[in-house]
Amino acid sequence: MKDSLRTLLKSRLTWGIASVIGILALVIPFALRGPTLPAEPVAQKPAAEAPTQRPAKTPPTKPKPSSKPTTPTPPVAAAPSTRPSTPTRPTTPPRPPRPTTPTTPTTPTTPTTPSTPTTPSTPTTPTTPTTPTTPTTPTTPTTPTRPQTVVSLTFDDGNADQLAAAAAMNTYNIDGTFYVVSGYVGAGGYFTRANLSALAAAGHEIGGHTVNHPDLTTLPVDEVKRQVCNDRATLSSWGFAVRSFAYPFAESIPANETAVSECGYNSARMLGDIKSRFGCSDCSYAESVPPANKFYTRALDQVESSWTLQDLKDGVTNAERTGGWVQYTFHNICPTTCGELSVSQSVFNSFLAWLAPRSASMNTVTKTVGNVIGGAVKPVVNGPAVTPPTGGTSGVVNPGLENVGSNGVPSCWFQAPYGDNTATFSLVAPGHTGSIANKIAMSRWVSGDAKLLPTFDLGSCAPSVLAGHSYSLRSWYKSSVVTQFAVYLRTSAGAWQYWTSSPWFGASTTWTEAEWTTPVIPAGFNGISFGLNIFSVGELITDDHSIYDSVGAPPANPGAPTPPAAAPAPSAARTAPSAPAEAPEPATPDAITGEPGTSTAPAAPESGEAPATPAPSPSAPAPSPAPSAPAPTAPAEPAPVVPAPAPEPAPVDVIPPVLGILPDITVLVADPELAPTP
């Protein structure tokens, strides 16, 4: 019994040890391979090996526990010899599936490969976006979205007060275009040549505005070309690159646009064809770049004293809506205001301060007109020459005054009263020959004179002359008082100056021919205008005027005028009439250098050569306080004949001197620039 018990205990112990060993055999590989291996072996090996050690000991020792061998019956099926193979088989077959099981872990390795996509996140490095964030990159995108606006600041006539505007513009590095009337250069209140040189040196553009500022639409084609071409030729001879032109009074016709082009300009500016609160409500806010017609570029209305700083700004901001080109036109820049066509210095400076930064913020830039249009400077072209009178051919146009304009003034002549007096002009019949003569009635006289003169122009009306020649001046007259010739010369640049006066011619109740031979024409002059004047209370009628070269001139009428019975009252200093007014204004001219009472002669431009002193006329009366018949002398640097701008021009119904040849013009207002027609 004890032996049976021992045998049973030994059998149990052996079975337990075998079980432990079997379990360890399964656990150790699992521990070595990782946490995934134990799942299968644990389930199979204990079941196979536990029976191997139980059946060997239980049957022989215990007869009673016949029921217990049933417990090891499962191992009975497998003999101890087969047990060794059992462990080898489960181990070998499970191995193939185990590698497949590891393949499942390899799938996680595939996710690790997706971690490589984190490398793409590296390509999306924010550094590339950060480059666009640089301020320069944002401005580049704004350029396409905001079209460029170009602003040109232009200045008309060459008024001296525009120098203040140029100085202010220089501080902002803004260049302007200055349209210059070459015949006014050097006159009081206008640019000198030194001023023009300083402007050009600072980067500003010098443009053309004709020689004498006439309305080109009223002139013959040849005179238009002389006004436009000779203006550019003069400015070019002074060393300026002249590419841009502006029409006086903002008036033009297609024929004039052709003339401007043929004279070598690259563009020509009009006025009033851009929308603003001052006009052209159905126009666009900007001119296109390039313009559709370079010789009719559209611009805002001229800037006047009614313009505010906001008006100036609006011209820019309106143009910025679509982009394009906007041109401003200034005339006078004054400390406060100085007439209708002026703007105060403070308003102008404030506009510059507002405009300058917009190049960076709004893609709005400033350029000269020449730089907007572009193109090379073209060769100089001179206007058509005019043949001077000869000894056998007179040079006066419309000498008998028979051709009369709708304004009541003979074509190619202008009425020129001056000083403190009351003179009335009219046409009377009959004339010396023909049906018309000119009459001047002086009802009140304190100073000055009144006369009818050939229009101051470049040759269509005013006779041309040659330097070094003298000329015989002739007019038929009837007068109740003494009279004399007042004589003016035109410089080669187109400016007009008072030159001298003839001796007196006595009163005559019948037609008498006054004749006088001039001194030699000084160098630098190429035109002449002359007429008999009246300088006391009385009447003067004139007709049939002529001028001949003194060499070969026909003999004058033998009837010589008689000296006056008594000299008129002493005259105050009398200044010659002005050149054609820059703008429609009353016929009364402005003061200029020189006066008939002192009989000064213009110095020859550049050379300074003075005219020769003529021999006294045998018919000259004895000298008297006013006016006399002195010998001409040369003054120092006489100024060109140019009117000073009237501060507040008033409406007039008299045609101005410059328009004396224009039969179809009715003058309603006296503005330096007429408002453009729609």
| Beta bridge partner(s), residue 330 | 155
Please tell me which residue, 155 or 560, carries the higher pLDDT value.
Answer: 155
Q: What integer pLDDT is reported at residue 337 of this predicted model?
A: 76
Q: What integer pLDDT is reported at residue 9 of this predicted model?
A: 65
Query: Measured on CA atoms in the order 350, 351, 354, 356, is the torsion positive or negative?
Result: negative
Of 453, 464, 467, 424, give the one whose Cα is nearest residue 578. 453
- The residue count of the chain comes to 678
CA 403 to CA 408: how far, in whole Å? 10
Query: Taking a C-beta distance cutoff of 8 angstroms, is the pair 536, 485 a contact?
Result: no
CA 391 to CA 553: how far, in whole Å? 4
Q: What integer pLDDT is reported at residue 21 of this predicted model?
A: 73
Half-sphere exposure of 541 (CA within 13 A, CB side): 16
Res. 386 pLDDT band, cuts 50 70 90: very high
Query: Taking a C-beta distance cutoff of 8 angstroms, is the pair 94, 30 a contact?
Result: no
Is 220's pLDDT higher than 50? yes
CA 673 to CA 512: how far, in whole Å? 43
Q: What integer pLDDT is reported at residue 89 of this predicted model?
A: 46
What is the tens place of the pLDDT at every residue in 281-293? 999 999 999 999 9
Q: What integer pLDDT is reported at residue 599 of this predicted model?
A: 35
Is 614's pLDDT higher than 50? no
CA 481 to CA 624: how far, in whole Å? 15
DSSP-assigned states of every residue in 177-235? EEEE-GGGTTSTTB--HHHHHHHHHTTPEEEE--SS---GGGS-HHHHHHHHHHHHHHH
Angle at 75 between CA 74 and CA 76, to 5 degrees: 90
Q: What integer pLDDT is reported at residue 279 of this predicted model?
A: 86
Query: Taking a C-beta distance cutoff of 8 angstroms, is the pair 561, 514 a contact?
Result: yes
Of 538, 544, 570, give the one whose Cα is nearest residue 557. 544
Res. 557 pLDDT band, cuts 50 70 90: confident
CB atoms within 10 A of CB 199: 24
Q: Which helix (H) or strand (E) holds 107?
A: helix 97-112
Q: Helix or strand or coil: residue 457?
A: coil
DSSP 525: E
Whose structure tokens read 């009673």? 64
Report domain extents, the chain. 2-102, 147-373, 388-661
Q: Which stretch of 138-152, 177-191, 215-229, 430-444 has the lowest confidence by average pLDDT?
A: 138-152
CA distances (Å), origin 158, targets 210, 524, 541, 643? 11, 22, 39, 13
What is the tens place of the pLDDT at every residue in 454-465? 999 999 999 999
Chain centre to alpha carbon of residue 166: 14
What is the tens place of the pLDDT at every residue in 420-447? 999 999 999 999 999 999 999 999 999 9
CA 337 to CA 319: how far, in whole Å? 27
Is 101's pLDDT higher than 90? no
CA 666 to CA 672: how far, in whole Å? 16
Is 595's pLDDT higher than 50? no
Fold of 147-373: TIM Barrel (3.20.20)
CA 491 to CA 496: how far, in whole Å? 6
Is 6's pLDDT higher than 90? no
| Beta bridge partner(s), residue 541 | 439, 478
Q: Which residues contact 156 (CB under 8 A, 6 or more apart)?
A: 179, 209, 246, 302, 329, 330, 331, 672, 673
Determine the angle formed by the axes of helices 162-171 and 193-201, rounding to 10 degrees: 20
DSSP-assigned states of every residue in 438-491? EEEEEEEESS-BEEEEE--SSSSSSPB--TT--EEEEEEEEESS-BEEEEEEEE
Q: What integer pLDDT is reported at residue 634 of this predicted model?
A: 34
What is the tens place of the pLDDT at every residue in 40-92? 444 444 444 444 444 444 444 444 444 344 444 443 334 344 444 444 444 44
Q: What integer pLDDT is reported at residue 146 of this predicted model?
A: 85
Residue type at 640 in one-letter notation: P
Residue type at 327 in one-letter notation: Q
Phi-psi bin for 323: left (phi > 0), alpha (psi -120 to 50), beta?
left
Report the CATH superfamily, name and number, of domain 388-661: Galactose-binding domain-like (2.60.120.260)
CA 128 to CA 82: how far, in whole Å? 73
Query: Taking a C-beta distance cutoff of 8 angstroms, is the pair 241, 196 a contact?
Result: no
What is the tens place of the pLDDT at every residue in 496-542? 999 999 999 999 999 999 999 999 999 999 999 999 999 999 999 99
Q: What integer pLDDT is reported at residue 8 of this predicted model?
A: 66
Whose structure tokens read 């330097």? 467
- Is there a cis peptide before residue 290, judged by omega within 30 degrees of 0? yes
What is the tens place of the pLDDT at every residue in 29-39? 555 555 444 44
- Compute the mean pLDDT over every residue in the chain, rounded to the nearest whole number: 76
Phi/psi at 587 (5° precision): -65, -15
Phi-psi bin for 499: left (phi > 0), alpha (psi -120 to 50), beta?
alpha
Q: What integer pLDDT is reported at residue 649 of this predicted model?
A: 31
Q: What integer pLDDT is reported at residue 646 of this predicted model?
A: 31
